[in-house]
């Protein structure tokens, strides 16, 4: 058994990055996957919410009492909108990069989800830029619906705006941290699935969500079941490549996990097998 100690230590070293990747804690100002990193962070983070990043709140309630503005400028309570499984997309409409790609991807994949939009699920794009107006939201909505999502019911994909206080309350409630930097924002890219009662059931990370992921998230939200974060599942086997802005398969990490699991089972076999063989014969 002593000979196994060095091998187990090596396997644990291989797995150490994975353990860190699975943490909920985001270092304030840190550059995480999907976050803008064109300027240094400043200011103090709010309690329980990362300055830039996502702190998952699975099973908790989104702030449904906030008041936002619809495309027509009319005030609307979030509770009056979240009456079915909802995919919440925190974005800002003047974003030239990740937000535009995310919305464009949604426009392409939503018709492929396989569920009935407006009945089985809906999408709410909410701008965290208090300077965005209903007119801006209406224009962006038309851009994406006309480009790729032709035929998708407009009422099933709302583009909302709001004042700073209501936006902050909503984003804080789902654990989404963002920061204004020189007219732009540093932020992560994530979709948040909500049940009809406003319970947070899943987070989908990245700028190119799949139709299957959205369908699964909506189905789980309909049942009020919380799902495994896609970030957690990906983090174990993949490492984020900031240069290529994508996840790459981490062969050494997966091998380390396999070696550690195999050695653990072998150690248990030796321990319990040895005891059985060394036990005195029964009279």
Residue 166 vs residue 257, higher pLDDT: 166
CB-based burial label for 178 (10 Å; 0-12, 13-18, 19+): buried
- Contact predicate 161/137, CB 8 Å: yes
In order of their start, the domains of the chain are 27-226 (3.40.30.10)
Confidence tier at 14 by pLDDT (50, 70, 90): very low
- pLDDT score for 126: 98
Backbone torsions φ then ψ of 24, nearest 5 degrees:
-80, -20
Residue 205 vs residue 3, higher pLDDT: 205
Using CA atoms, how far apart are residues 240 and 247, in angstroms rounded to an integer?
4
- pLDDT score for 125: 97
- Greatest mean pLDDT among 5-9, 38-42, 254-258 lies in 254-258
Asked if the model's pLDDT at residue 279 lies above 80, the reply is no
Q: State how far the alpha carbon of 76 is from the alpha carbons of 72, 73, 130, 171, 246, in Å.
A: 10, 9, 16, 17, 37
Q: What is the pLDDT of residues 214-265, one digit of tens each?
A: 999 999 999 998 876 555 454 445 444 444 544 455 555 556 656 766 777 7
- Contact predicate 104/210, CB 8 Å: no
- pLDDT score for 265: 76
Asked if the model's pLDDT at residue 161 lies above 90, the reply is yes
């Amino acid at each position: 058994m002593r000979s196994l100690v060095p091998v187990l230590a090596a396997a644990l070293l291989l797995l150490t990055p994975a353990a860190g990747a699975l943490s909920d804690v985001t270092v304030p100002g840190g550059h995480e996957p999907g976050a803008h990193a064109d300027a240094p962070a400043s200011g103090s983070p709010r309690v329980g919410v990362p300055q830039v990043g996502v702190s998952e709140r699975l099973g908790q309630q989104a702030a449904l009492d906030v008041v936002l503005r619809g495309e027509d400028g009319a005030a609307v309570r979030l509770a009056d909108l979240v009456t079915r499984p909802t995919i919440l997309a925190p974005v800002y409409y003047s974003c030239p990069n990740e937000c535009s790609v995310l919305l464009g991807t949604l426009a392409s994949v939503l018709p492929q989800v396989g569920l009935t939009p407006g009945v089985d699920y809906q999408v709410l794009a909410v701008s965290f830029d208090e300077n965005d107006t209903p007119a801006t939201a209406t224009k962006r909505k038309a851009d994406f619906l006309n480009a790729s999502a032709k035929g998708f019911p407009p009422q099933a994909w709302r583009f909302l705006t709001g004042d700073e206080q209501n936006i902050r309350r909503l984003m804080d409630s789902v654990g989404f941290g963002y920061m204004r930097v020189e007219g732009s924002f540093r932020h992560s890219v994530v979709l948040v699935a909500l049940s009809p009662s406003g319970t947070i059931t899943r987070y989908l990370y990245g700028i190119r969500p799949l139709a299957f992921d959205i369908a699964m998230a909506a189905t789980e939200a309909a049942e009020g079941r919380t799902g495994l974060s896609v970030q957690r599942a990906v983090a174990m086997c993949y490492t984020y490549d900031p240069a290529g802005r994508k996840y790459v398969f981490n062969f050494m990490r997966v091998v380390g996990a396999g070696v550690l699991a195999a050695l653990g089972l072998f150690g248990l076999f030796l321990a319990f097998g040895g005891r059985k063989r060394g036990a005195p014969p029964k009279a």
